[in-house]
Amino acid sequence: MAASFLHTTVLLEEGVRAVLGDAPAPDGTFVDATFGRGGHSRLLLERLAPGARLVAFDKDPEAVAQAGTIADPRFSIRHQGFTHLGELPPGSVAGVLMDLGVSSPQIDNPARGFSFRLDGPLDMRMDPTRGQSVADWLATAEPQQIAEVIRDYGEERFAVQIAKAIAARRQERGAISTTAELAELVAGTVKTREPGQNPATRTFQALRIFINAELEELQQALSASLSVLAPGGRLAVISFHSLEDRIVKQFIAEHSKEVYDRRAPFAAPKPMRLRALERIKPSAEEVAANPRARSAILRVAERTEVRA
């Protein structure tokens, strides 16, 4: 069973190269904002100079425990979400790497409740020691709330029907408490689906994003990166679905242009704070070896010399 919990880091080489740039042994402070199972962190430590520092963040206690196996004085882990990135000193960071994917051990462990393929408690919290589980939320949420979450975060066109089915099930037989119960209910409600995709895919994605406030935290962490990155520092973000990628793309685009104040047309524009560098997707070889990499997109930007 333990072997099924192994994790293969997506865009490992590309992500590390993107955040470090071309220097042979970069110095300074770097951030792995989503430690996961530490693939990026370990390779970063191999590449960094002896005097460099790597700070990692993760909400998952299992990830933090895994980080404890790294015996490198340059490395430290914070049991916090990456919204706390802004607590680092302004202009103190040479590079920030964010891998927004859910790790394979989280998906493959039924006890975490992330997967519709494995029966387990309907939890889905990145940090199971804090906050409300999906099961707890579904037990009391209004059908309209449920429909909005599934529609907005899962882009599910049958969101209203699924929400009504959840409410009806709750009234008839009690609240849904397991992943198998929810997957079965959704499969019985969603009559059409894209070839090769489980009917519950979008619903599970939506509930996970919502219960962990993933999009809100991403927006906060991106904003914080502008504060902590030093001039010339790199921001590299790996996203796995369109909602995340849209936020990252728009954030980089917004801060990669000069802003004019329409109320003062002759005033100097507010200078851009980022310079977009590249967009990278996994190679065909990587996708063949790890199908979970197929939707990944890496976007890279550089902090400009002008500070906000």
Measured CA to CA, the distance from residue 92 to residue 124 in angstroms comes to 34
Is 197 annotated among the ligand-binding residues?
no
Measured CA to CA, the distance from residue 89 to residue 36 in angstroms comes to 24
β-bridge mates for residue 56, sequence order: 32, 77
First CA to last CA across the chain, in angstroms?
Answer: 50
**In 3D, which of 104, 122, 133 has the Cα closest to residue 186?**
122
Is 82 annotated among the ligand-binding residues?
yes
Is 152 annotated among the ligand-binding residues?
no
Backbone angles phi, psi at 142, to 5 degrees: -70, 150
Measured CA to CA, the distance from residue 183 to residue 116 in angstroms comes to 6
Query: Please, are residues 103 and 36 in contact by the beta-carbon 8 Å criterion?
Result: yes
Is 39 annotated among the ligand-binding residues?
yes
* DSSP state for residue 236 in the 8-state scheme: E
Which amino acid makes up residue 160? V
Is 113 annotated among the ligand-binding residues?
no
Alpha helices by DSSP H, listed for 109-158, are 134-140, 143-154
Is 205 annotated among the ligand-binding residues?
no
Q: Is 48 helix (H, G, I), strand (E, B) or coil?
A: coil
Is 99 annotated among the ligand-binding residues?
yes
Burial class (CB in 10 A: 0-12, 13-18, 19+), 69: exposed
Annotated binding site for S-adenosyl-L-methionine: 38-40, 58, 82, 99, 106
Annotated binding site: 38-40, 58, 82, 99, 106
